[in-house]
Amino acid sequence: MADHDHSHEHGSELSETQLRVRALETILTEKGYIDPSALDAIVEAYETKIGPRNGALVVAKAWTDPAFRQALLKDATAAVGTLGHVSPVGDHLVAVENTPQRHNMIVCTLCSCYPWEVLGLPPVWYKSAPYRSRAVKDPRGVLTDFGVKLAKETEIRVWDSTAETRFIVLPMRPAGTEGWSEERLADLVTRDSMIGTGLALTPAEIAK
């Protein structure tokens, strides 16, 4: 993956940042600190393997297996570790559950902490100043930006990831999904529903 497609570039001109990064990689390689083939493997893993499907499978399992749901809410790291089809996560994962009374939302106001192992790389908006500044003060306004409207009386809990603890929201299971398999349910679990800026899709939404 050393020379990827550069279709997004105009002509062969390299940006200043591209040049800086290439120079840095060259220096660190020549000095023996880094292995470019390991860099390739890391990039490839984030492009192909580590994404929100991991989290969606965890959520789908929690929706169908009450014992797993309990274990997940008690110790998410340990619970995810018991799933063979999801890669193990670091020590500090916490799952927080949405209910009809309470909606949870995750943010990192100080940098951009995010549960990479279960959701992949954070989207640009999650790392942006608008989200980091407003999520703790005006979460309903943020939800409006995402087209989500909660009942006026629903409690909103915002979790600011100020340490190495990482949070994942367990969204509510949509109605009309009784008897669905975990695989099928996982298709309803969006990345945003596990951050708390969205809800799980309904069967009608996914049919569109």
Partner 1 sequence: MNGVHDMGGMDGFGKVEAEKNEPPFHEEWEGRVLALVRSMGYAGAWHIDDSRYAQETLPPQTYLAVSYYQRWELAAEKNLLARGYVTQEELKAGHAIGPSKPLPRKLTKDVVDAGMTRSSFFRQQQGPARFKPGDRVRTVNINPLTHTRLPRYARDKVGTVELIHGCHAYPDSVATGRGDDPQWLYTVVFDGREIWGPDADPTLTISIDAFEPYLEPA
Stretch 166-205 residues interacting with partner 1 (CB under 8 A):
192, 197
Give the whole-angstrom CA distance, residue 133 versus residue 50. Answer: 27
Pair 168, 55: CB distance under 8 Å: yes
Query: Is residue 145 a contact residue for partner 1 (CB under 8 A)?
Result: yes
Q: Which of 64, 81, 109, 182 binds partner 1 (CB under 8 A)?
A: 109
Half-sphere exposure of 40 (CA within 13 A, CB side): 7
The residue (of 31 and 181) whose beta carbon lies closer to partner 1 is: 31
Which run of H or of E encompasses 182? helix 182-186
Give the whole-angstrom CA distance, residue 104 versus residue 92. Answer: 18
Work out how close the CB of 125 gets to partner 1 at its nearest, in angstroms, rounded to a whole number: 5
Q: Which of 54, 161, 177, 193 binds partner 1 (CB under 8 A)?
A: 161
Q: Which residue is catalytic, options 15, 111, 128, 133?
A: 111
- Note if 12 is an active site residue: no
The residue (of 8 and 178) whose beta carbon lies closer to partner 1 is: 8
Interacting residues with partner 1 between 6 and 45 (CB under 8 A): 6, 8, 17-18, 20-28, 30-35, 37-43, 45
Q: Which of 68, 83, 92, 97 binds partner 1 (CB under 8 A)?
A: 92
> Which residues are paired to 94 by β-bridges?
167
- Note if 15 is an active site residue: no
Alpha-helical runs (H) found in 49-181: 52-64, 66-74, 76-81, 116-119, 124-127, 129-134, 139-145
Interacting residues with partner 1 between 48 and 67 (CB under 8 A): 50-51
Query: Is residue 116 a contact residue for partner 1 (CB under 8 A)?
Result: yes
Query: Is residue 146 a contact residue for partner 1 (CB under 8 A)?
Result: yes
Work out how close the CB of 198 gets to partner 1 at its nearest, in angstroms, rounded to a whole number: 9
Which run of H or of E encompasses 106? strand 102-107
Burial bucket for residue 52 (CB in 10 Å: 0-12, 13-18, 19+)? buried
Q: Which residues are annotated as catalytic?
A: 108, 111-113
